[in-house]
Structure 1
Amino acid sequence: MATISSDLLWLLTRNSSSYLVKGRGAAGGQFSSDPLNLNNVHARKYEGFIQDKAVGVTAAEDGSIVVTTKKGGKTQKPASQLQKSTIGKNKSSRETFKAIVGGTAKQGYRVDLRREVVARASAIKSSQRPVRQQPTPKLRGTKAKKAAEASA
């Protein structure tokens, strides 16, 4: 069975893809819910289901990062086409980025999306950090006197 080229596949599915999400309103654009789409933009460059080799970065529930890679030679076997690897939550950001870029570069994945992969992983890492509470400012002068009188 012959495989379809990615150009033809894009032409066939660009207006009717199940991953297509259309924005509403005057500034509504076309977005994608594809897990292998790094920017969530409905464009041929970023759609992972069209490409032979694609990379996706998602967050796990325990605070780690899951890197999903699509194998190029497994187009006829969808069950074994995706490979997931987990990067632990205790790794530093630099080690995480190095692991993602090093793992995808050795296997010949798309170099033009390297910046997007690191940006997505960085956004996930920063969203998983706990939010610091701002300390209450210490009142001085007349404000401190008024607060002391009000509490007494």
Structure 2
Amino acid sequence: MSNVSNDLIWELTKGNSKYLVKFQGTVFSKDPLNVTHKNSKNSSGLANDKAVGVTEVDGKVVVSTKVAKNANKPSKAVHVQKFNEYKAARKLALAVSNTTKGYRDDLRVVAVKTASQYSRGKTARKSYPVKSRK
């Protein structure tokens, strides 16, 4: 637990943060621990003790989780789990689900969906020859 409340952190960072992106009147977030990429108190990685982030680095799916008991130790505050690029999509979804157990259920669902999108985006679609009409 940090010495500052989550509500105070959110009030200070909601309108002014390096992670904010404003696009066509909507405010998004590039926070690495924000799975939903919405600028809201519930999904903010800065203002919550338990946060989850999913990214893709060099073809590998990376799941970052915030460790609540190490909030005052920045070097140990985030646990990073990398998954191989050759892992099947269903096995990757199960692994991400198991990694994010103990965190909020709404974040786990979004993390699994995001990891599955990264995994399925790497696979090439099967191409079929064009049939000619006679």
Does 2:46 correspond to 1:49?
Answer: yes
| Uncovered stretches (5+) of structure 1, i.e. residues with no partner | 141-152
Q: Distance in 2 between matches of 1:70 and 1:35?
A: 11
User: Per-residue deviation at 1:33?
Assistant: 0.6
Superposition pairs for residues 1-152 of structure 1, below 5 Å? 3-24=3-24, 28-61=25-58, 63-105=59-101, 108-140=102-134
User: Per-residue deviation at 1:44?
Assistant: 0.9
Aligned length: 133
User: Per-residue deviation at 1:31?
Assistant: 0.4
Q: TM-score by structure 1 length?
A: 0.79
User: Per-residue deviation at 1:68?
Assistant: 0.8
Per-residue CA shift, 1:76-128, capped at 9, x if unaligned?
A: 211221121111122221211111111221xx222221211111112111221
Q: Distance in 2 between matches of 1:115 and 1:85?
A: 17
> Structure 2: which amino acid aligns with 1:65?
V
| Uncovered stretches (5+) of structure 2, i.e. residues with no partner | none
Task: For CA contacts below 8 A with separation 6 or more, give which structure has more relative contact order.
Answer: 2
Bigger Rg, which one: 1
Q: Distance in 2 between matches of 1:120 and 1:112?
A: 13
Change (3 A) 1:134 1:39: farther
Q: Which runs of 4+ in 1 moved over 4 A?
A: none
Q: Distance in 1 between matches of 2:61 and 2:133?
A: 43
Q: TM-score by structure 2 length?
A: 0.89
User: Per-residue deviation at 1:134?
Assistant: 4.6
Per-residue CA shift, 1:35-77, capped at 9, x if unaligned?
A: 111121111111112111211111121x221111111111221
Q: Distance in 2 between matches of 1:104 and 1:116?
A: 11
| Richer in helix (by share) | 1
Q: Distance in 2 between matches of 1:104 and 1:118?
A: 9
| Richer in strand (by share) | 2
